[in-house]
Amino acid sequence: CDCHVHLNDYGQLTCETYKSISSIVIKKEIVQSRIYFNSYILTFRVDNLNISSQFISELSYLFPPLTSNSNNYLSQITPKDVSFIKISLIFSHFQQLHFQDYVFYELFDQTNQYQQQRQTTLNLEMSSNGQITMNPMAFYKLSVGQLIIHASSLGDYPFEYVFNNTNIGDLSIEGFTLKSNNTLKQSYNGHIKSAKFTKMAETLSSEEFPMIPVKSLTIEVHEPRKINSSTFRLYDNLNGLHIIQPRFNLDNTTFNGLQHLRNLETMVLDCETIKSDTFHHVQRLRFLTLGANLKILSDKSLNHLKHLERLDLSKILLDQLSVTSRCILAKFITNHIKSTPSLIVHPPQGEGCDCIYDYILTILNKNPSSYYMDNCKDSQQERCLLSECNVVQNFRPPLDISSPTSFLEKGQYNESSPFDYLRIIDGQLAESVGNEHEQSNEHQQSPPYYEPHKQKSPISGNGKSIYDSNSDSDTQVVILSSAEDRVVNAHSAMPLFLGDSSALNKLPESHSSTLLVVETTTLDPLIYISNPEQYNSKNNHSNNFRDEKLNINSKHSNLESQNHSDDNRHIALKNEKWKWIAISLAAVTILCLLIVITIIWFFTCRPRNPPSGFKLVPQSSTV
């Protein structure tokens, strides 16, 4: 046959023949040359082909060795190169294809310890519509990690007839299914860990996908027109269900009958519409993948997924979802990350600039593509202000959308702090709550220091007084240095000011913090000192220092208010523009109605007076 060698990260041997051959023989000089391959692609373009016993067993001479000794070790072979063996047999344009007994007998000797270290794959592609026949022990003693069979049919052979006495890790059959035979099942001695059947079918039911004796079964159906889930109620080994491009909408009755299957954990749905309570009968799902054809999600379509561990949205283009569906998806991710922080979510794709896409990437700590960053970085703030989704109304994207962790710098997103993390994914939390959390953390780390809204406070005496220039109420906050200082200086201390003694009585007995908050009408500090004169000199210095700080704080607050006023002005201008557009449309509508009424009146209601002037004289009259 005509063979080609491809030397890349691993050796690949490609052969093609147009002649009918009984077996493959490797020449001695090739074996002695110590040339090894990991991948083999053998194509047979023959009308009638008879596959004999141990048809490709001599290919094992070209398998790279796993042990490094002086006789069979090749210096260019790396552990990466020898970790797998893949053989693909392609039978095309055949009319008759027959498999004799022992075709793949111990092709991969899994009894050998070093062979067990490999990932072995055997791919049989029989793309022709010819007839396929096989002896009862054609696959006898086949031991392989993965077996892939692609064909339109294997005839009427039952599953136990084909795969008896085999040891297969993963079996994948594409294009057809095999039925089970109860008689042969009694003597069946095959060991298959998992099997997946993929084909097009008019109806998704047990008739199209029979139950077979494997540990784990996955069903993948393409373009079904209806589903009969109740026929699978006895499929205890059904682990995965893939529905690709169905011709029906998924609703709360679609999976009725699958609620009895305890092992059904994986589902792939590539459909256009998912209605409410679709997953009501499959609440045990752990892995869910949504396909690229999804366009509409109903309000409660993703409910009942309480045990979900991984959600794959990577095939979805978020732009093709409706605005309501995007909001539902964002809300679902938000709620599930709150309840299940270990949930793994693969984010969808995004092309158009969308605040919901920014929100999803931020809470998942993912970066957008370079294309998205180049086109959307200038409008990220505006698109969130104008978003119709209530989940992201209070969301403010980071200034640098290429780095979601920039929230750490602003104190809005912190993966190590559960409260901050929940605050980002909860759009209804007020901004002041987060500031209070930051203040409490700083206070615990350094008790003598307190900084609300990141504004430094003036120092006065042995304590620190904090004033919030942005506050509407007159609130005084005083932090005393320590409890011991208050006890030591209690005998000689005199109070300079005490606003309301009843406020102290309202504090709970269990309150052990050194933070004291008193509502007053003036801003005099509540500090106990032992020397009033010394306090007065320090107080003057403190007032000067406070004036400087308040000046800086006022500039900062003015800048914030200016930015806020710019946003309000921008929104007001847009509202004004839409108001005038609405008024103009109303005026045009009224004018059109007047014209129509005038035309109707002219032709129907206008009085018709006979024309004045000369009248015709009757013929019988005389002048």
- Cβ-contact 219, 241 below 8 angstroms: yes
pLDDT 10s digits, 433-449: 344 444 444 444 444 34
> Hey, what are 406's tokens?
């920039």
Low-confidence ranges of the chain (pLDDT < 50): 68-80, 114, 405-533, 535, 538-539, 542, 545-546, 548-550, 552-556, 559, 614, 621, 623
Say what the alpha-carbon torsion angle 382, 388, 390, 391 is, to the nearest 10 degrees.
-60
Secondary element (H or E) of residue 484: helix 483-488
> Hey, what are 332's tokens?
């679902």
Rg over CA atoms, the chain: 40
Residue 442: closest CA among 432, 433, 450, 434: 450
- φ, ψ of residue 508 to 5 degrees: the values are -70, 155
How many of the other CB atoms lie within 10 Å of CB of 205? 18
Residue 452: closest CA among 463, 482, 462, 464: 464
In this predicted structure, what is the pLDDT of residue 443? 43
pLDDT 10s digits, 395-437: 877 655 555 543 333 333 333 333 333 444 444 333 333 444 4
Cα–Cα dist 157/179, whole Å? 8
- Cβ-contact 134, 98 below 8 angstroms: yes
In this predicted structure, what is the pLDDT of residue 475? 37
Secondary element (H or E) of residue 193: strand 191-200
In this predicted structure, what is the pLDDT of residue 208? 95
In this predicted structure, what is the pLDDT of residue 280? 94
In this predicted structure, what is the pLDDT of residue 61? 86
What pTM value is reported for the model?
A: 0.63
